[in-house]
Amino acid sequence: MVQETQNIIIPSRIVEIWQRIVDSISDLLSIPSVMINRLAPPELEVFRSNRGHDNPFPSGTFTHLCIVQEDP
């Protein structure tokens, strides 16, 4: 059974930790975008992303998914 991920409540303390992690990774690796995504079919949500000025994927951004199923 697939759980509805958009209904999972993530405690604010965990969200704050995740935010620090993505900010730190972006700084350490000098890359413009680090994300933690949440699957919310038919979309993918950028749940947390680093707060860099050159990040093209801010938190809260959604993109449509194209899911392809292969024949067994």
In a domain, 34, yes or no: yes
What is the pLDDT, as a whole number, of residue 58?
Answer: 93
Q: Which residue is associated with the tokens 């038919």?
A: 42
pLDDT at 37 over 80: yes
pLDDT at 29 over 60: yes
Strands 62-64, 43-49: pairing kind = antiparallel
d(C-alpha 48, C-alpha 44), whole Å: 12
In a domain, 15, yes or no: yes
**pLDDT-derived band at 3, boundaries 50, 70, 90:** low
pLDDT at 56 over 90: yes
In a domain, 70, yes or no: no
Into how many domains does the chain fold? 1
